[in-house]
Amino acid sequence: MPSAIENRPPTITDGPFVIVGTPPSDGGNTSSTGQPRPEIWSNMRGGLCEALPYYRAYKGSLHTKEVCAIGFLIDKEADPRDVFSAQVVICSAGGGRELDRETGSMVRRADAVDDNTGIRALKAAKEARSVVAIIAGQNNPNYPCHPPHPYSVLDYFQITDIWKEPQAQRNGNVVKVWRIRFEKAELHTSSWWAPRNAKDGDNNALSPSHNSEYLSIEEFSGQSRHCVICWQHSKEIFTVGWMCLNPGCASYFHTHSPITNATASSLAYTEAFLNQRNPLIGPLPKLKPSIPDLDTVGLHGTESDSRCGFVCPDCGCCSRRLFWNRLVCENCSRWWPAPMLPYPQANLQAEAIYIDSLTTKRRITNGVNAGVPESAHDTFACVLNRTCIQPAEGFVFGSYTARQYFLPDATGQVIGSFTLFVSNQNINSRQHGPDDLFRELSVTDIGLKRNPAANVGSKHEGLTRHFQQNFGARYKFGVSVQSKGFDEAPQAVLRALHRLIWASKCAVAATAGRLAGQTVGPNAPPPTSNEFNELLALGFMEKDSINYHDDGETELGPTVAALSLGSPSIMKFRPKLRKSGFGDMLPIGSGPGGKKAFKSVLEVPMKHGDMMVMHGQHIHRIYEHAVEPFGGRRFSMTSRYIDPGKMTLQADKDDAAVKGAIPAHSQEFTYDGN
Ligand SMILES: O=C(O)CCC(=O)C(=O)O
Ligand SMILES: [Fe+2]
């Protein structure tokens, strides 16, 4: 399982996730103590990105929609001449900074390019006179007031000017940087971030009488003229006088000769440029989104549009979607139900048809039999490499058709088996079968939640995308997750557990049968296995995937089994690039971020009701697996044996013994394969 780390995990009983140390705030402008009080704020970047439709940029400062800027973060990296006042923000666009070892400061090494998607999106917003929401990070050195939160939403701004200017870097170089002037869109409301002693006009709301003090763009008091060389229009924005600001023009900044550090450092904006004010065009969109309307016609609760975070209507905290079926404010703990509707049967059918055609297509174009008549293919999976995956053995287990693949190491020795149990309509529609289990899990709260998986406890904390709840012995992947005992597990979980116990017995016996009489290596899958004492329930909403990982934690038994319910997915296997020893025997592709990796060797569709069993501990040394999602709602009930003998703490051993004991009352759920 990919590591998913939990620091102080919330459970259904201990209530919602509360971030310690954040003063509660209830929106508005300034508190009774005079503290600035933004209407919308967040302790975490993840909260912003999940709750605000106009800021979904986990990295970088700009968020765009259809190549138009809609959200912008101004945080710790600031440049000379940056402005952060009540109505005007001037800053640079585009990162491009790197650490300069000599000065220890972040510097830019090269001029910003003339055209990239970010600049295009900012220019598009300027042209369209559309608004951009600005969020201020607490480390911005120009914050005009004491930053009330790690991230605070300022307001909507329009972009009035975009130009490129020379900036002196701390290492002595001068580079040209794109600069953006944002102006608050609604000038008649006060700005919560304005310093309390701000002068009227400059820093706070314009009263109607003040309006006359500000010039419209036509009344811009500085020079504003066309360049005689490129014929493009530039405003006089620097006190040194007018110059052409078109970076492509021969007379850009007057000259082609290098601009010195001293010239760049002495530049200053004109009063006229800073003080211009532009009329707002069109009504402003809502800055504070309402709690998602889960009754919205046509939404059933797990589609991308309905699984977002939210802004707490009470305290303004941007909260992430932590729980499967409720929204809990990460600051004030207020919560709202987010009930799931049953998943439409028609969606499931369409998704199953799609996954079949996709697997067929991949088999024909990429599979080992590409170009060979389809009748010769293994129609259960897409086998991509015969060096690894030899033809499967077919079985019938109970009412399931099954296929078993052996996974070898680089010397060709079998180290494990992967068995797919293909379900069917008969199995799925039986009472307490996969249809019933899927329905039950969809609408019951079994405690599914997302757990911190990266940068735990920091403002850059990342959560697992999918939702989890562990039952039985505690499965520690990375850092521990909480577990509920099997004695408090809902019926659906216990029924799934018994199905997996049955499937693993079939798969292990079949593996042993096939290997009997063969010479096997020391890493061959063992002929028997331990009965599961753990079940990890996973809930996937639309597009939730699991990246490549292994289930190779040392305390795990040799067998891992999973029951798939709802929307289909494709489970993929590939040998690990360095640890597998396959060297140049297999083709290499590139994974996310261009990282080299072996191409997958086996891709198996897992559809509603299907089960899989991986048997053999060494699989996880040599191979990794991933789950590619298709469709809108899936559960995977995965079971393992966690060996108390390999736990170091006596408390963990005792906990595993109690929680992992399969309750006697569940024996009536024992499964026979039908
Ligand atoms: O989604 C699945 O079926 C399997 C998930 C998985 O690989 C895991 O839980 O380790
Ligand atoms: Fe896994």
**CA gap 306, 292 in Å, rounded:** 7
Q: Which residue has the higher pLDDT, 344 or 195?
A: 344
- Atom 2, ligand 1: residue with shortest CA distance: 636
What does pTM read for this prediction? 0.86
**Is residue 314 left, alpha or beta, with left meaning phi > 0 and alpha meaning psi from -120 to 50?**
alpha
Between the CA of 2 and the centroid of ligand 2 the distance, in Å, is 7
Closest C-alpha among 134, 129, 371, 167 to residue 265: 167
196: confidence class by pLDDT, cuts 50, 70, 90? low
Q: What is the pLDDT of residue 372?
A: 67
Q: What is the pLDDT of residue 654?
A: 95
CA angle, residues 6, 8, 11, in degrees to nearest 5: 90
On whether the CB atoms of residues 521 and 581 are closer than 8 A, the answer is no
Coil, helix or strand for 674? Answer: coil
Strand partners, 633: 541
- Atom 3, ligand 1: residue with shortest CA distance: 636
Q: What is the pLDDT of residue 338?
A: 87
Share of the chain above pLDDT 70, in %: 89
**Average pLDDT over the chain, rounded to whole?**
88
549 assigned ligand-binding residue: yes
Q: What is the pLDDT of residue 256?
A: 58
Q: Residue 3 pLDDT more than 60?
A: no
**CA gap 161, 180 in Å, rounded:** 6
Range from 24-28, 222-226, 287-291, 454-458 carrying the lowest mean pLDDT: 24-28
**CA of 620, nearest ligand number:** 2
Please state the rounded mean pLDDT for residues 475-481.
Answer: 70
CA angle, residues 301, 565, 11, in degrees to nearest 5: 60
Between the CA of 638 and the centroid of ligand 1 the distance, in Å, is 7
Please state the rounded mean pLDDT for residues 26-52.
Answer: 81
**CA gap 290, 632 in Å, rounded:** 23
Output the ligand 1 site: residues, CB below 6 A. 1, 536, 538, 546, 551, 562, 564, 606, 625, 627, 636, 638
- For 154, phi and psi rounded to 5 degrees? -80, -75
478: confidence class by pLDDT, cuts 50, 70, 90? low
Q: What is the pLDDT of residue 195?
A: 80
pLDDT tens-digit series, residues 141-175: 999 999 999 999 999 999 999 999 999 888 888 89
User: Pairing between strand 131-137 and 68-74?
Assistant: parallel
Looking at this protein, which amino acid is placed at residue 237?
Answer: I
How buried is 165 (Cβ within 10 angstroms: 0-12 exposed, 13-18 middle, 19+ buried)? buried
Tokens of 563: 């029951």
**Is residue 108 left, alpha or beta, with left meaning phi > 0 and alpha meaning psi from -120 to 50?**
beta
Give the single-character DSSP code of 580.
S
198: confidence class by pLDDT, cuts 50, 70, 90? low
**CA of 4, nearest ligand number:** 1
**CA gap 62, 52 in Å, rounded:** 13
Give the single-character DSSP code of 293.
-
**CA gap 325, 538 in Å, rounded:** 14
**CB within 8 Å of 488: residues ≥ 6 apart:** none
4: confidence class by pLDDT, cuts 50, 70, 90? very low
Q: What is the pLDDT of residue 313?
A: 95
pLDDT tens-digit series, residues 61-103: 999 999 999 999 999 988 999 999 999 999 999 777 888 888 7
Tokens of 463: 């959560």
How buried is 65 (Cβ within 10 angstroms: 0-12 exposed, 13-18 middle, 19+ buried)? middle
The best mutation among 536, 546, 635 to test binding of ligand 1, ranked by most ligand atoms within 8 Å of the C-beta, falls on 546
**CA gap 447, 396 in Å, rounded:** 35
Please state the rounded mean pLDDT for residues 540-564.
Answer: 95
30: confidence class by pLDDT, cuts 50, 70, 90? low
Q: What is the pLDDT of residue 297?
A: 62
pLDDT tens-digit series, residues 256-288: 567 788 888 889 999 999 988 888 878 899 999
Q: What is the pLDDT of residue 12?
A: 30
Q: What is the pLDDT of residue 27?
A: 39
Q: What is the pLDDT of residue 479?
A: 46
Q: What is the pLDDT of residue 88?
A: 95
Q: What is the pLDDT of residue 24?
A: 34
Of ligand 1's atoms, which has the minimum distance to the CA of residue 606? 3
pLDDT tens-digit series, residues 588-632: 998 777 889 999 999 999 999 999 999 999 999 999 999 999 999
Tokens of 1: 């399982």
Tokens of 40: 């919308």
Of ligand 1's atoms, which has the minimum distance to the CA of residue 551? 10
On whether the CB atoms of residues 627 and 641 are closer than 8 A, the answer is no
**CB within 8 Å of 105: residues ≥ 6 apart:** 99, 170, 171
Of ligand 1's atoms, which has the minimum distance to the CA of residue 612? 3
- Atom 1, ligand 1: residue with shortest CA distance: 636
